[in-house]
Structure 1
Amino acid sequence: RFLSRIHIIKNYKDTAIKISRSLENFRNELGILQRNKTVLIKSSIINLFKLIIMYSIPFFAAKALHMDVTISQLPDFIGICSFVYMITAFVPIPGASGGSEGVYFMLFSPILGTIGTPTTMLIWRFITYYLGLIVGGLVFAVNKEINGSE
């Protein structure tokens, strides 16, 4: 109601209905997950592996460039990369352009140095952002169901 009074929300009733539906849908899905523990555990494990792989990209980029990193540094890379994603989540522009690169450079410079940081950053950014855009665009262009061509 406060947001409608300061003219941020134009139609309070419609917005309230949408929020109520979203919350009801969330409660229903949460109830389904709580009743089906195996699905919850499997999806949590799969998500954990996805995050570990995604956060390991700078480490493997450094390894691919024959930098002096060891497997014992992998947890450090995962932790630093998770901080990069956490910090850049607050940058309100698509892909956190500029902000993510700056944070990456600041956090990885002590480990990778002035030469290794920008080169691994190029690989990391391409894989995590641009590759998704390219693959998504190709899927969208080729998929007949999505683009409506018969």
Structure 2
Amino acid sequence: MKKHAAALPAWEKQIEFFHRSNRQIYRNPRLLAGTYVLTFLQLTALFLVPYCIFRAFDIGRASVLRMLCYQAFVTMVSSLFPLPGSAGAAETSFYSFFSSFFTPETIKSADLLWRVISYYLVLLVCAPFSKIGKKLEAERG
């Protein structure tokens, strides 16, 4: 119980920061619109990864929209499991949803490649920005 009581001020500080940030973004319609556009582009790029892998394997033709929707379902299913990186759930849901697009010989490779691109590559690309953000935050005090 003492650990929880000690952690409470940190939680309250984070909630207050979130609340202030929300108010700030909603007061600035241009910033809000930009955030929506960037989030849309980010998710679209991430959801296009399975389609790009499918095309790279040169298996045939498939509907981009259908694959985007399937990837949205994979993301939703993966979000239901509170594991780091949705370990296991993401791969299983990808396999289940996309096995209708890929051949039995290529689905496992596609699953592995999708995970490397959509999770591990994102971690590697974003890590420097996280470090820069922490450095800037420390400088601001």
CA distance in 2, matches of 1:60, 1:11: 46
Aligned-pair Cα RMSD in Å: 2.7
Contact 1:58 1:124 in 2 (8 A): yes
Contact 1:105 1:117 in 2 (8 A): yes
Matched, 1:40 2:43: no
- 1:18 Cα offset (Å): 2.8
- 1:95 Cα offset (Å): 2.4
Aligned to 1:10: 3
What pairs up with 1:42-81 in 2 under 5 angstroms? Answer: 42-70=34-62, 73-81=63-71
Q: Which portions of structure 1, spanning 4 or more consecutive aligned residues, are displaced by more than 6 angstroms?
A: none
Contact 1:67 1:116 in 2 (8 A): no
The TM-score with structure 2 as length reference comes to 0.77
Q: Which runs of 5+ in 2 are unaligned?
A: 136-141
CA distance in 2, matches of 1:78, 1:97: 21
The TM-score with structure 1 as length reference comes to 0.73
Q: Which runs of 5+ in 1 are unaligned?
A: none
Aligned to 2:116: 126
Contact 1:62 1:116 in 2 (8 A): no
Identity %: 22
Letter in 1 for 2:30: T
Which one has the largest radius of gyration?
Answer: 1
CA distance in 2, matches of 1:122, 1:57: 12
